[in-house]
Amino acid sequence: MSDTLRIAIAGASGRMGKMLIETVLAAEDVELVGALDIAGSPAIGADPGLSWGFQTDITITEQLDVGLAKAQYLIDFTQPAGTLAHAKYCAAHGIHMIIGTTGLSAEQQLELAAYANKIAIVFAPNMSVGVNATFKLLELAARILQEGYDVEIIEAHHKHKVDAPSGTALRMGEIIATVQNKNLQECAVLARQGHTGERKEGTIGFATIRGGDVVGDHTVLFAGDGERIEITHKSASRMAYAQGALRAARFLQNKQHGYFDMQDVLGLKSL
């Protein structure tokens, strides 16, 4: 098909990379044309489709010029340093990016935004459609519950996750803080220990759980006097993130450049 999207996957041997490869191979309107991994990975040289019963004409490589030779899009759910290196290469070669990497600093996000002057980028800490619907619900709740309600964000992930709080939890905090005219960096409470004193009014608390194989659970608690409102999203599989990433790639199909998020992809900003 002439309009088939040619996609490469970064972090091909990781949990998310494998799920992305499976999702791309199963979709009719996209084609897997490249797979990247870090130098020294045992997966280098392997066919990325074999785990799913597919035989492709590509092998996993650490060489960007090889892995991205035929790619129109790179889907990247890796680590900040790797993502930025990939973004620099993609910007120089006209390859659009879908980025789900978490743990990027504010400066690193600004660097990504600069690359978006040359290519189209969708950057989102969570590409699940359900999570992004939850973001929209939080906007409404934060607007209604501005006075008399304390906000706590509780997130749980598997034991291998290296950043905390999760990018999704931080995004939830940013949404609530923005609606309530606060600066999250000033009002966030990321840890509590010892004699902390009473809870300071207007703060947004975070609690982090790490263990087992939890894919991702997030709960935002609005606690008032005499009642609590809880908004929760639970992920049972990484498939939702992979499907969201493909939806983001389709969204970029006619874009030349620009910096977008999943709210743009799903058309939620106009609601």
Strands 150-157 and 216-224, sheet pairing: antiparallel
Indicate which residue of 136, 161, 255, 257 is catalytic: 161
pLDDT of residue 183: 96
88 carries an active-site annotation: no
The pLDDT value recorded for residue 64 is 97
Decide if 18 is catalytic. no
Q: What is the CATH number of domain 5-123+238-265?
A: 3.40.50.720
CB 250 within 8 A of CB 236: no
The pLDDT, as a whole number, for residue 34 is 97
The confidence score (pLDDT) of residue 53 equals: 81
Could you say which of 18, 96, 157, 233 is catalytic?
A: 157
Q: Classify 129-235 by CATH class.
A: alpha beta
Please say whether the beta carbons of 260 and 122 come within 8 A: yes
Residue 224 phi, psi (nearest 5): -110, 180
- Residue 64 CA to residue 228 CA, distance in Å, equals 50
Give the span between the Cα atoms of 180 and 165, in whole angstroms.
21
- Residues across the chain: 271
pLDDT at position 1 is 40
β-bridge pairing 73-76 and 5-9: parallel
Alpha helix (H) ranges present in the chain? Answer: 15-26, 64-67, 80-93, 106-115, 129-144, 167-179, 184-187, 239-251, 262-265
Locate the domains of the chain by residue range.
5-123+238-265, 129-235
The tens place of each residue's pLDDT in the chain, 271 residues long, gives: 458 999 999 999 998 999 999 999 999 999 999 999 999 999 999 999 888 788 898 999 999 999 999 999 999 999 999 999 999 999 999 999 999 998 899 999 999 999 999 999 999 988 999 999 999 999 999 999 999 999 999 999 999 999 999 989 999 999 999 999 999 999 999 999 999 999 999 999 999 999 999 999 999 999 999 999 999 999 988 899 999 999 999 999 999 999 999 999 999 888 7
